[in-house]
Structure 1
Amino acid sequence: MAGIITRLAAMLSLAIMFAFVKLAGQQGVHVTESLFYRQLTAMPLICFLIWQSEAGWPAIKSNKHGLHILRSALGIFAMGLNFWAMTLLPLADATTISFTVPIFATLFAALILREKVGIRRWSAILIGFIGVLVVIQPGGTLIPAFGATVALVGALVTASVTLVIRMLGRTETSIVTIFWFSVYTLPALAVCAAIYGGGHDATTWGYLLGVGIFGAIGQLTITQSLRFAPISTIMPMDYSALLWATIIGVVVFGQWPGLSILLGAPIIIGSGLFIAWREHVRASRDANSEN
């Protein structure tokens, strides 16, 4: 229960963060500046978690810096696209498209990592893409084509990040991966923020502060949820993000989800949940065979 509640809080925090990203974007803030304050605010929290851990600072040592750099490059590109998508689309629309990440990740695992994917998961992938077509309505006008493309590419790159994180996870803890992600991305983001940033009024600075604070809270609660419960238990809670995004979109931005979202979101979510369940079954079977 602690894991479920913490994960729900994480999804709410991230939904609020994206709302601040959208509000900041409406004030003319460049995406890279929002990314910079998101990472800058998270860094002290990450350092605190490392300091509080049993292993302490020696735990950050790594011999996988090539993978960390690749993860950082892909991760910041993905995060930038996701932030940009939130400024281009209603929150519920962008959030729904982001749910395609497990579908793309499973596809990449089969094609790149040569993982065995059975007919059931291939079927779930196909059904998930049908849900995507329902949501974005190719050739239609319900969702802006450019915004939908940015969101889809963001989900695609995010899925590639999950593969790199899985490779790092064989030897690295999650907090170490997060630490080096911040270390490798902050300098480049600082340069971008200096180029594209500028003076802001108090309201805009408040939005940027909200991006940083709620991004850090989201990162902390996601990490903590994994300590309280297995990922197969808490992952379904991630789909609560659509509820939060819909509520915030209506209350703050006056944006109601369209019919395509109401029809397509359950298809995409159902596909993702089935893939997660099959991953859990496969992992349990492998663990039993090893024993």
Structure 2
Amino acid sequence: MRATQQPMLALGLRLCSAMLLSFMLLLVKLTGERGIALSETMFWRQCIPAIAIVGWLAARGGLEQLRTERPWVHARRAAIGTSGMFLTLGVVQILPLAESTVLGFTAPLFAVILSALLLREMPGKWRITAVLLGLAGVAIIAGPDRAHLPLKGLVVGIGAAFMVALVSIQLRDLGRTEQPLTVVFYFSAFSVIALAPLALWTATPHDATGWLLILGIGLSGLAAQVLMTAALRFGTVASVMVMDYSQLFWATLWGWLAFGHVPPTSTWIGAPVVVTAGLVVAWREHIAAQARARGPRKALP
């Protein structure tokens, strides 16, 4: 059953999701600094939510909620999501939190490019301008001195944004028929199966602090993912995506509090450029959605 659109609820859910996601990335960076392998972090990141969801539904007698008629769609979403998660979690172990977050904001620009390549939806002048503006913003952030933004981190960050764009399309599709917990469970379950061999190979002993960090990653990731999926159930991708930009505030705060890192001037200049580009895409998508609701019209630029 398709959920009724509730724009304000969707915005609030996405805002909370952005805060929790930024906190999870802080914990991931801390585990990396403690020498915990990324593959093991990813395994527990997915295993903890899967166990928590089953336990929660079993206690409430609601395991039937996990029934689905779209297992292969869930499997495809898990494959894309796990690949994206590897890049998204990996980039925060390479770059400062603020810079890795800003690179993630290029996801809407990749959505425009993917629509043109895969859906044959040719972008108009506004969307093309937004893509070029976003690329200019990334170039400003990279700057002539890449001491704070090495090429490896830049490539991983942009790759992560590309995968996020694909995941957003998948979530919107699944959100039309599936409950948020169902989507999150199958993503976690399929990912755990794929990650288990690698995690066992790289696993190392941890002290209490290490296990607390891993537990925090799993729980904050679960909450963020449920809220993100719920937001896409009650609102459109274009309307809720604007809340993602609040991550920059949290990432900058966490980076300063935990690592004493203050972004350089190039980031302060380039970040608003990238954010503006993303907002232009969201604005045009919102207008296009309104036009489609009114009936067939000429495509918007």
User: What's the CA shift string for 1:151-170, capped at 9, x where partnerless?
Assistant: 11121222233344455556
Is the contact made by 2:54 and 2:63 (CA closer than 8 Å) also made in structure 1? Answer: no
What is aligned with 2:88?
82
What is aligned with 1:275?
281
Provide the secondary structure at the position in 2 that maps to 1:115. coil
What is aligned with 1:57?
64
CA distance, structure 1, for counterparts of residue 295 and residue 124 of structure 2 = 18
Is the contact made by 1:64 and 1:168 (CA closer than 8 Å) also made in structure 2? Answer: no
The residue type paired with residue 159 of structure 1 is A
Aligned to 1:12, which of 5, 15, 19? 19
User: What's the CA shift string for 1:238-257, capped at 9, x where partnerless?
Assistant: 10000000000001111111
What is aligned with 1:188?
194
CA separation of 1:153/1:225 partners in 2, compared to 1, >3 Å: closer, same or farther? Answer: closer
Is the contact made by 2:172 and 2:232 (CA closer than 8 Å) also made in structure 1? Answer: no
User: What's the CA shift string for 1:199-257, capped at 9, x where partnerless?
Assistant: 11111111111111111121232234446655554321210000000000001111111
Two-structure CA RMSD over aligned residues (Å)? 2.7
User: What's the CA shift string for 1:91-120, capped at 9, x where partnerless?
Assistant: 000000011111111111111111242121
What is aligned with 2:162?
156
CA distance, structure 2, for counterparts of residue 83 and residue 193 of structure 1 = 15
Is the contact made by 2:99 and 2:267 (CA closer than 8 Å) also made in structure 1? Answer: yes
What is aligned with 1:252?
258
Structure 2: runs of 5+ lacking an equivalent:
1-7, 297-301
What is aligned with 1:30?
37
Query: What TM-score, normalized to structure 1?
Result: 0.88
Aligned to 1:120, which of 123, 126, 139? 126
Aligned to 1:216, which of 222, 229, 236? 222
The residue type paired with residue 81 of structure 1 is L
The residue type paired with residue 94 of structure 2 is L
Query: 185-194 or 152-161, which moves further after superposition?
Result: 152-161
Provide the secondary structure at the position in 2 that maps to 1:88. coil
Query: 142-151 or 74-83, which moves further after superposition?
Result: 142-151
Is the contact made by 2:111 and 2:165 (CA closer than 8 Å) also made in structure 1? Answer: yes
Q: Percent identity?
A: 36
CA distance, structure 1, for counterparts of residue 57 and residue 123 of structure 2 = 36
Task: Count matched residues.
Answer: 289
Is the contact made by 1:50 and 1:175 (CA closer than 8 Å) also made in structure 2? Answer: no
CA separation of 1:52/1:228 partners in 2, compared to 1, >3 Å: closer, same or farther? Answer: farther
Query: What TM-score, normalized to structure 2?
Result: 0.86
Is the contact made by 2:141 and 2:267 (CA closer than 8 Å) also made in structure 1? Answer: yes
Is the contact made by 2:46 and 2:189 (CA closer than 8 Å) also made in structure 1? Answer: no
CA distance, structure 1, for counterparts of residue 79 and residue 232 of structure 2 = 24
CA separation of 1:221/1:117 partners in 2, compared to 1, >3 Å: closer, same or farther? Answer: same
CA distance, structure 2, for counterparts of residue 14 and residue 108 of structure 1 = 24
The residue type paired with residue 278 of structure 2 is G
Query: 185-194 or 104-113, which moves further after superposition?
Result: 185-194
* 1:6 shift after superposition: 3.3
Aligned to 2:48, which of 41, 49, 52? 41
Q: Does residue 106 of the first structure (1) align with residue 95 of the second (2)?
A: no
Is the contact made by 1:109 and 1:163 (CA closer than 8 Å) also made in structure 2? Answer: no
